């Protein structure tokens, strides 16, 4: 329950423009804001999150006219689409404000009056280039020149304007940024703004007279406010009179950092109002290393992913895979892969193992134990490191630390071997069994609290399976202590949280639903809906072809998705096949096959019993050092989930440095007869692949797998 006397923390998303329906770019920012809101609430703050829609401007007016609607009708539809999407994704928006709200007009009027009273607004005229898409005046441009932001052609406009004296604020901004280095983050964006300020600032037009769809300027008939003088004020308007201003954090995409880091503080300073404390600009999501954009047709929408996988796995992927602040690549393949490796094989596997063993060995009751000291220490350190990383918005690092803890506990289970302890009746064995069962369950309790901001739905289900009855949100992330589980507490009903997903089928289903979602959103935006077969073509070529890289696709289906009618027409099918054929040569017919150069023939067949004698195990390299007077050899110590680490001497020194190997999981032959190499007893053999006269490449794993696991 939120403490009314808690310190406030006010944060915002961008005020999303209604020229597009919600896509994964909007979702990325709003997921981050929702995560930070929950985290701050779980660290003792009264966190309040504002979002909304930016609904004025000539572009919106033209879009409405094209649909045969009034701007009011058009903007109401798209704004509601944002609200609905956020509700489906389980996001907690405390204040949602539209710029068409009457409160916004009143607030913008107050900002204007204060800036004018202080001498920062004057009347002038403008003839020059204007970008309709970015609502941006483009200085020093010729008719038809491209916009420097989006590359679209600019339009020539001539009109009387009201101007804001932005030129008066250069020194103030530089001084403020120097005194408050945290104001613009990350550092790369701060440097970008500082570089921009090396040039003189030009005064900014804050009104338009050639359009009518906007907030009227109170004392200038025929003028409406320029979109940025209007939209930025939404942050202030949404909490006016609540004691929440100034904002503690504005989250934005890097493409609008200049408006937030230069225009916005200048407006507020001119009015004599407090400035926000921090602006953080994250990077772009790339699709197959290419920027997502409507013009390229490679926009990804969250709804198909939510329907197939749920919202939590998407949240986890985005913030585990991509360092927040930089650009990051998105692909359906990577999303499913991360889900299977981290959620199904990692977190889900530990939960199912732990609760199953508690039911089997302790009648479904948490054993009365203090747990293992090593695991308790690791969990305590992880909780502290998680908070440190989260406070710095290094979400990927915070999640890495949690999964390292899960791996630590997985390894401890292998070392304790509870399945063997359960067969022994002596007190020491039973105490050790209680210790590992309690430690595993208590770790899951702590992990549930840490992950609540990132996996809000899934953590509640884990909480229930542990038999917890108190609200998860009531626990403080920054005050976690070991031994929060009570001995004798009954675990809940077993529910599989992360069934493994088939890559081909899952990606195929999301692509099919993407086609349906594109058609639905296009209808909302009044775009001419192409035949559904063309949508299939677009989805196929934009989402499948870029990933082919010269290989035969696994999930491509040329017939229409189920429920969408007949197969695509022959011309469309031919076009798809033509493009695919350009990157995927046809398989030769009867041409004679020859082995690639350097590939040796397969060895003679062996009996299955012979293969079964070879014990291949997963090992983690703990240390690596060069062997004296042997330029090809490295001495490695390995964790193979045994009582003591083992030593293996491997001939890989020319392919790997010791620093590259420490912490890496590899495959070893664990039951080879030990032998001495250069005076060092080598207990096993590391598995690697190579061609003749080429460097060896170590066998490894795309998905996480516990140390000590046997390969079969």
CA-to-CA separations, 565 to 216, 559, 560, 573, 577, in angstroms, rounded: 50, 9, 7, 15, 20
CA distance 631 to 625: 11
Q: Is 605 helix (H, G, I), strand (E, B) or coil?
A: coil
- Tally the C-alpha atoms within 13 A of residue 94's C-alpha that lie toward its C-beta: 19
- Which pair of tokens denotes residue 558? 């040329």
474 with 334, same domain? yes
Full strand arrangement of the beta sheet holding 328-330: 290-291, 285-287, 328-330
Is pLDDT of 555 > 70? no
Domain range enclosing 617: 609-711
**Assigned domain for 615 exists:** yes
428 with 554, same domain? no
pLDDT tens-digit series, residues 207-261: 999 889 999 999 999 999 988 999 999 999 999 999 999 999 999 999 999 999 9
pLDDT given at position 560: 37
pLDDT, average across residues 167-177: 97
Is pLDDT of 165 > 50? yes
**Assigned domain for 381 exists:** yes
pLDDT given at position 225: 96
Residue 227: name the closest of 30, 11, 53 by CA: 53
Residue 154: name the closest of 164, 166, 140, 165 by CA: 140
Burial of 174 (0-12, 13-18, 19+ CB in 10 A): middle
CA-to-CA separations, 239 to 6, 97, 104, 308, 344, in angstroms, rounded: 17, 10, 11, 37, 41
**Minimum mean pLDDT among 179-193, 576-590, 629-643: which range?**
576-590
Going by pLDDT thresholds of 50, 70 and 90, the confidence category of residue 355 is very high
- Which pair of tokens denotes residue 29? 């920012």
574 with 695, same domain? no
| Per-residue buried b or exposed e for 309-341, using 16+ beta carbons within 10 Å of the residue's own CB | bbbbbbbbbbbbbbbbbeebebbbeebbbbbbb
466 with 535, same domain? no
Task: Decide the pairing of beta strands 616-626 and 328-330.
Answer: unpaired
- Which pair of tokens denotes residue 91? 């996001």
pLDDT given at position 553: 38
**Minimum mean pLDDT among 256-260, 311-315, 663-667: which range?**
663-667
- Number of residues assigned to the chain: 712
Query: Domain boundary residue among 464, 479, 494?
Result: 479
pLDDT tens-digit series, residues 98-128: 999 999 999 999 999 999 999 999 999 877 7
pLDDT tens-digit series, residues 435-473: 999 999 999 999 999 999 999 999 999 999 999 999 999
510 with 413, same domain? no
CA distance 459 to 449: 8
Contacts of residue 139, Cβ cutoff 8 Å, sequence gap at least 6:
128, 202
Is pLDDT of 188 > 60? yes
219 with 336, same domain? no
What rounded mean pLDDT belongs to the chain?
87
Going by pLDDT thresholds of 50, 70 and 90, the confidence category of residue 562 is very low
CA-to-CA separations, 257 to 56, 188, 253, in angstroms, rounded: 20, 11, 7
Contacts of residue 362, Cβ cutoff 8 Å, sequence gap at least 6:
434, 437
**Assigned domain for 81 exists:** no
447 with 538, same domain? no
pLDDT given at position 549: 37
325 with 444, same domain? yes
CA distance 636 to 623: 6
pLDDT tens-digit series, residues 121-161: 999 987 778 887 777 778 777 887 888 777 788 888 888 89
Q: Which residues pair with 676 in a beta bridge?
A: 681
pLDDT given at position 544: 44
Estimate to the nearest angstrom the gap between the alpha carbon of 673 and the chain centroid.
47
Going by pLDDT thresholds of 50, 70 and 90, the confidence category of residue 693 is low
Q: What are phi and psi of 284, to 5 degrees?
A: -95, 150
**Minimum mean pLDDT among 186-200, 434-448, 474-488, 519-533: which range?**
519-533
Into how many domains does the chain fold? 4
How much of the chain, in percent, has pLDDT values that exceed 90? 65
Q: Phi-psi bin for 700: left (phi > 0), alpha (psi -120 to 50), beta?
A: beta
CA-to-CA separations, 163 to 112, 206, 258, 662, in angstroms, rounded: 11, 6, 18, 61
pLDDT given at position 156: 85
- Asked whether the bond before 186 is cis by omega within 30 degrees of 0, the reply is yes
Residue 302: name the closest of 87, 501, 557 by CA: 87
**Assigned domain for 579 exists:** yes
pLDDT given at position 550: 37
CA distance 127 to 141: 11
**Assigned domain for 576 exists:** yes
CA-to-CA separations, 701 to 349, 505, 698, in angstroms, rounded: 17, 22, 10
What's the per-residue H, E or C state across 173-219?
Answer: HHHHHHHCCCCEECHHHHHHHHHHCCCCCCCEECEECCCCCCCECCC
pLDDT given at position 518: 85
656 with 570, same domain? no
CA distance 152 to 141: 13
> In which element (H, E) is residue 282 found?
strand 279-282
Is pLDDT of 321 > 50? yes
Residue 347: name the closest of 339, 336, 358, 335 by CA: 339
- Considering only residues 293 and 250, tell me which one the structure prediction assigns the higher pLDDT: 250
Q: Which residues pair with 447 in a beta bridge?
A: none
pLDDT, average across residues 415-444: 96
pLDDT, average across residues 399-416: 95
430 with 364, same domain? yes
Q: CB of 42 within 8 A of CB of 453?
A: yes
Query: Domain boundary residue among 226, 243, 261?
Result: 226
**Assigned domain for 486 exists:** no
Is pLDDT of 391 > 80? yes
How much of the chain, in percent, has pLDDT values that exceed 70? 87
What is the four-CA torsion angle of 227, 230, 232, 237, rounded to 10 degrees? -160
**Assigned domain for 142 exists:** yes
126 with 213, same domain? yes
pLDDT given at position 551: 36
Going by pLDDT thresholds of 50, 70 and 90, the confidence category of residue 655 is confident
pLDDT given at position 286: 85
516 with 431, same domain? no
Check which CATH number belongs to the domain holding 315 and give it.
1.10.730.10
**Assigned domain for 513 exists:** yes
Residue 432: name the closest of 480, 489, 486, 370 by CA: 370
Is pLDDT of 543 > 80? no
CA-to-CA separations, 564 to 362, 512, 515, 542, 560, in angstroms, rounded: 52, 9, 10, 19, 6
pLDDT given at position 276: 98
Query: Domain boundary residue among 209, 226, 243?
Result: 226
CA distance 243 to 261: 23
CA distance 418 to 603: 40
CA-to-CA separations, 573 to 549, 563, 568, 701, in angstroms, rounded: 20, 19, 6, 37
What is the radius of gyration, based on Cα positions, of the chain? Answer: 30
Check which CATH number belongs to the domain holding 216 and give it.
2.170.220.10
CA distance 394 to 325: 9
CA distance 443 to 466: 11
Q: CB of 198 within 8 A of CB of 177?
A: no
**Minimum mean pLDDT among 22-36, 177-191, 530-544, 551-565: which range?**
551-565
- Considering only residues 529 and 564, tell me which one the structure prediction assigns the higher pLDDT: 529
Check which CATH number belongs to the domain holding 707 and give it.
2.40.50.140
Residue 537: name the closest of 558, 516, 564 by CA: 558
């Amino acid at each position: 329950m939120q403490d009314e006397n808690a310190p406030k923390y006010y944060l915002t998303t961008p005020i999303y423009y209604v020229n597009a329906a919600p896509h994964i770019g909007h979702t990325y920012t709003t997921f981050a804001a929702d995560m930070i809101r929950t985290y701050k609430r779980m660290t003792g703050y009264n966190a309040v999150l504002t979002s909304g829609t930016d609904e004025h401007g000539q572009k919106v007016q033209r879009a409405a006219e094209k649909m045969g609607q009034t701007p009011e009708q058009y903007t109401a539809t798209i704004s509601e689409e944002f609200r609905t999407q956020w509700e489906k994704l389980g996001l907690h928006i405390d204040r949602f404000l539209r710029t068409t709200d009457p409160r916004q007009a009143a607030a913008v009027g107050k900002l204007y009056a204060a800036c004018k009273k202080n001498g920062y607004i004057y009347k002038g005229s403008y003839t020059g280039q204007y970008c309709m898409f970015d609502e941006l005046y483009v200085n020093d441009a010729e008719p038809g020149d491209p916009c420097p932001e989006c590359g679209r052609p600019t339009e020539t406009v001539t009109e009387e304007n009201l101007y804001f004296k932005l030129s008066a604020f250069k020194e103030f901004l530089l001084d403020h940024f120097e005194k408050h280095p945290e104001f613009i983050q990350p550092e790369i964006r701060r440097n970008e703004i500082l570089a921009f300020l090396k040039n003189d600032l030009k005064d900014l037009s804050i009104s338009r007279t050639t359009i009518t769809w906007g907030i009227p300027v109170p004392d200038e008939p025929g003028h409406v406010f320029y979109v940025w003088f209007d939209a930025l004020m939404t942050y202030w308007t949404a909490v006016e009179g609540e004691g929440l201003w100034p904002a503690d954090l504005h989250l934005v995409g890097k493409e609008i950092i200049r408006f937030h880091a230069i225009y916005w503080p200048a407006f507020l300073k001119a009015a004599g109002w407090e400035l926000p404390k921090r602006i953080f600009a994250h990077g772009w999501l790339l699709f197959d290393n290419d920027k997502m954009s409507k013009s390229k047709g490679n926009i990804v929408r969250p709804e198909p992913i939510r329907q197939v996988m749920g919202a939590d796995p998407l949240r986890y992927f985005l913030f585990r895979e991509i360092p927040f602040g930089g650009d990051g690549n998105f692909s359906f393949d990577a999303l499913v892969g991360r889900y299977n490796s981290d959620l199904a094989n990692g977190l889900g596997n530990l939960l199912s193992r732990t609760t199953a063993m508690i039911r089997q060995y302790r009648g479904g009751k948490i054993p009365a134990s203090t747990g293992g000291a090593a695991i308790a220490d690791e969990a305590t350190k992880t909780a502290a490191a998680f908070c440190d990383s989260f406070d710095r918005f290094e979400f990927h690092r915070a999640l890495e630390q949690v999964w390292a803890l899960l791996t630590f506990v997985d390894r401890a289970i292998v070392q304790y071997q509870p399945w063997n302890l359960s067969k022994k009746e002596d007190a020491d064995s039973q105490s050790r069994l209680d210790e590992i069962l309690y430690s595993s369950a208590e770790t899951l309790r702590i992990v549930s609290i840490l992950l609540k901001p990132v996996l809000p739905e899934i953590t509640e289900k884990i909480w229930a399976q542990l038999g917890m009855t108190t609200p998860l949100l009531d626990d403080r992330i920054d005050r976690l202590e070991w031994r929060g589980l009570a001995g004798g507490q009954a675990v809940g009903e077993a529910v599989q949280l992360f069934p493994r997903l088939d890559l081909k089928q899952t990606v195929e289903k999301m692509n099919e639903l993407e086609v349906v979602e594109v058609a639905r959103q296009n209808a909302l935006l009044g775009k001419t809906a192409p035949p559904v077969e063309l949508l299939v073509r677009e989805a196929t070529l934009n989402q499948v072809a870029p990933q082919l890289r010269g290989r035969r696709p696994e999930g491509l289906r040329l017939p229409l998705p189920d429920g969408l009618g007949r197969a695509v027409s022959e011309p469309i099918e031919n076009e798809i096949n033509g493009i695919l054929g350009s990157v995927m040569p046809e398989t030769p017919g009867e041409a004679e096959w020859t082995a690639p150069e350097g590939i040796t023939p397969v060895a003679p067949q062996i009996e299955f019993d012979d293969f079964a004698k070879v014990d291949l195990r997963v090992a983690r390299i703990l240390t690596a050092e060069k062997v004296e007077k042997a330029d090809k050899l490295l001495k490695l110590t390995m964790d193979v989930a045994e009582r003591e680490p083992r030593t293996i001497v491997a001939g890989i020194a020319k392919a790997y440095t010791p620093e590259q190997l420490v912490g890496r999981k590899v495959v070893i032959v664990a039951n080879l007869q030990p032998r001495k190499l250069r005076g060092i007893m080598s207990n096993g053999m590391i598995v690697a692949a190579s061609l003749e006269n080429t460097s060896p490449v170590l066998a490894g794993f795309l998905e996480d797998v516990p140390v000590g696991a046997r390969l079969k």
